[in-house]
Structures are given as C-alpha cells and as structure tokens.
Amino acid sequence: MAEEALTDARRAETERLRNPLDALRYQRQVLENLRLLEAIDQELSTAQVELAALINAPLGQPLTLVAPLESVSREALAVPVEVMEENAMTANADLREQHYNARIAREETRKTLVKLFPNLIFNYGANYDTDNYLLNNNWREASVQLSFNLFNLFTGSTQIKLTEAGVALADQRRVAMQMAVMAQVHLARQQYANALNQYNRADAIWETDRRIAEHMKNRADTQTQSKLDSVANQTTAILSLLRRFQALAVAQAAEAKLQATLGIDPLIGSVDEITLADLTRDITRSQNNWSKLEPRANATASVEAAQ
C-alpha cells in the first residue's frame, strides 16, 4: 500500500494534479512510513534467523509464532523487599558458592594443622613358612614407625598464616558477595517495576493505534480518507505492536533476573528427559510462585549455618 501511495504521489507531481510542494511533502511522509516498515522487516528477519539457531530449526524454514496468552503482572512487586532480601541471603546461587568456598578454606586450615603432626605408622602381621627345618614355622611381627618432616619446623608457622589468610579472604569475598546480592535484589526489583511500566504503556499505545488504524481503514474503504493516512496509521499500529512485544520480552527477562537473584529458579530436570508441555507448565508455575514467598524467621540462622 505504501509503494502504491508513493507511485500515485509521484504521478500526481508529474501530471501537475496538485501543488508540487504538497506532492513532495506527501512523498516525504510516504517515504518515512516505508523507512519504518523496512526497519521493522529487517529487525524481524534477523530475529527469525536467531530464533531458528536457538531452537535448532532449518534456517530457511518459515516459523509461525503464537502470541502468549498470559501477560505480566505486578504480583512480584507485592512481595516486601525484606522478604526478598531474606530469600536471596539463603538461596542465591552465587552467595551459596561463597559460603562453600569459606567452608573449604577452613577445611584447608585443618588439613594444614594435621600435616604438622608427626607421622605414626603401626604394622602388625602373621607369617608362616613351610620349611621343616625351622624351629617355629609360625610367627608374628609388629612394628611402630614414627617420622617427622623437619622442614615443617621452619615452614609450619608460614603455612598456618597462609591458610588463615585464605580463610580471611574467603570471608571477605562472602561479605562482599552479600552486599552485592543485596544491591542486586533492589536493582532487579526496580528494573522489573520499570519494565512493567514500559510494557503497560506500550500495550496501551498499541491498543490505541490499533483502534485508530481500524477507523482509518474503514474510512479508506469508503473513500473518505486518503491512502496516505491509512498507510501511516497502519504503519504506526505495526510499529506499536512490535514495540509491545519487545516491552513484553524485556519484562519477562526482568522477572527471570529477579527470580535468579532471589534463588527461586524453576526446578527443571534434564531437558532431554522432559517433554515440551511439561517444561512449559513448570516455567509457568514458577512465574506464579511469588505469593508463596514468606518471611523466614530462621534466615539468619541458616546463613550462619551455611558459613
């Protein structure tokens, strides 16, 4: 339609059917609409290739997408920030890794202390010989061996200091990670709120543009509206729909980031052993688990136990 409108505009300019300046302005608006449509087409064409690569589909095969019925909600924002912080302190994957590193550092200290002790070896065995000329064919022997590495006398204190420094470093990393996780919780929550606002605004704009485009199309069908206005409004509606889906994707990504920060990722087994329907159901359920987050009275005790 835009190409046809552009051809009509150029013909009108050539045949002097209207003011040349008005004809040029008309062409400028049509070309701007064509530029938007081509930009949308280019963006969607590359997205198809990326999606095909992600799902391991043939690159030349056309893909038909079904718009999701569910939308994003503000249920996550109803959870108090304090509850989110408690869950993050006990379930965040990065923070739990630092807790385990601190425990490993303490175990290394104990190993170093054990290495400083002397080695004590006790042997006991029963022996038998078939030689008939022996007075005793059966006998038992036992031995005790005590050894000590003299170098430990000189390096023992240094080794202990190194292991204690490792423990202190692990504790500092854990504390730094705790502060980073706290900041991530507030940042992810704010980003999710912003993404929801952007999606709601994009959805409202798309709904308005869609209704305007319908009215303009009806006017164009009854020849009470120019083709340019119809093309312009339909182009705007297409662009608004694209921006709506982009805002929806950003909101879903922000929600997933918030879940990962709080450590409430969906429990999914091997993707090779689960069907697509079950995978979809598990992910959908994980998005509705915000109401199950409750304050943990033993959150502090759990963190100390992990340490």
**pLDDT tens for residues 107-136?**
888 877 777 777 778 889 888 888 777 888
Of 54-68, 119-133, 219-233, least confident by mean pLDDT is 219-233
Indicate the SS3 state at residue 295. Answer: coil
Region 228-257: mean pLDDT is 84
pTM for the structure as a whole: 0.68
Residue pair 239/205 in contact (Cβ under 8 Å)? The answer is no
pLDDT value, residue 294: 62
Give residue for tokens 């969607």. Answer: 44
Q: What is the DSSP letter of 224?
A: -
Q: What percent of the chain has pLDDT over 70?
A: 88
From the list 103, 107, 108, the residue with the least C-alpha distance to 303 is 103
Best CA proximity match to 89, nearest among 171, 183, 189: 183
Say how far apart CA 307 and CA 302 lie, in whole Å.
9
Determine contact, residues 86/295, Cβ cutoff 8 Å.
Answer: yes
Integer Cα distance of 307 and 297 in angstroms:
18
Distances (CA, A) of 83 to 80, 118, 159: 5, 51, 42
Q: How far apart are CA 149 and CA 92, in angstroms?
A: 44
Angle value at C-alpha 105, between 101 and 109, nearest 5 degrees = 165
70 falls in which pLDDT band (50, 70, 90)? low
Residue recorded with tokens 């030349």: 60
Residue 71 token pair? 């939308």
Band (pLDDT 50/70/90 cuts) for residue 298 is very low
CA distance 124 to 204: 86
* 231-255: average pLDDT: 85
Instruction: Report domain extents, the chain.
Output: 1-65, 66-306
Query: What's the mean pLDDT in 220-242?
Result: 76
| DSSP structure string for 15-36 | TT-S-HHHHHHHHHHHHHHHHH
Name the band, by pLDDT with cuts 50, 70 and 90, for residue 302.
very low
Note the pLDDT of residue 189: 92
pLDDT digits (tens, 9 = 90+) for 76-109: 888 888 888 888 888 888 888 888 888 888 888 8
Quick one: pLDDT at residue 71? 67
Please tell me the distance from the alpha carbon of residue 180 to that of residue 95, in angstroms, as a whole number.
Answer: 9
The packing angle between helices 2-14 and 20-54, to 10°, is 160
Question: What pLDDT, on the 0 to 100 scale, is given for residue 2?
Answer: 77
**Mean pLDDT calculated for residue range 264-279:** 76
Task: Give yes or no for residue 138 having a pLDDT over 80.
Answer: yes
Do 105 and 167 touch, CB atoms closer than 8 A? yes
Distance CA 77, CA 293 (A): 12
Q: What is the pLDDT of residues 149-202, one digit of tens each?
A: 777 667 777 877 888 888 888 888 888 888 888 999 999 999 999 999 999 999
The lowest-confidence range among 4-18, 52-66, 194-208 is 4-18
Asked if residue 200 lies in contact with residue 207, where contact means CB atoms within 8 angstroms, the answer is: no
Q: What are the beta bridge partners of residue 139?
A: 127
* Average pLDDT estimate for 266-275: 75
Q: Under a CB-based contact definition with an 8 Å cutoff, are residues 174 and 101 in contact?
A: yes
> In this predicted structure, what is the pLDDT of residue 299?
43
Task: Provide the mean pLDDT of the chain.
Answer: 80
For residue 48, the model assigns a pLDDT of: 84
Distances (CA, A) of 64 to 77, 240, 280: 33, 20, 18
- Pick the closest to residue 122 from 103, 96, 99, 141 (CA basis): 141
pLDDT attached to residue 133: 79
Which CATH number does the domain 66-306 belong to among 1.20.1600.10, 1.10.600.10, 3.10.25.10, 3.40.190.10?
1.20.1600.10
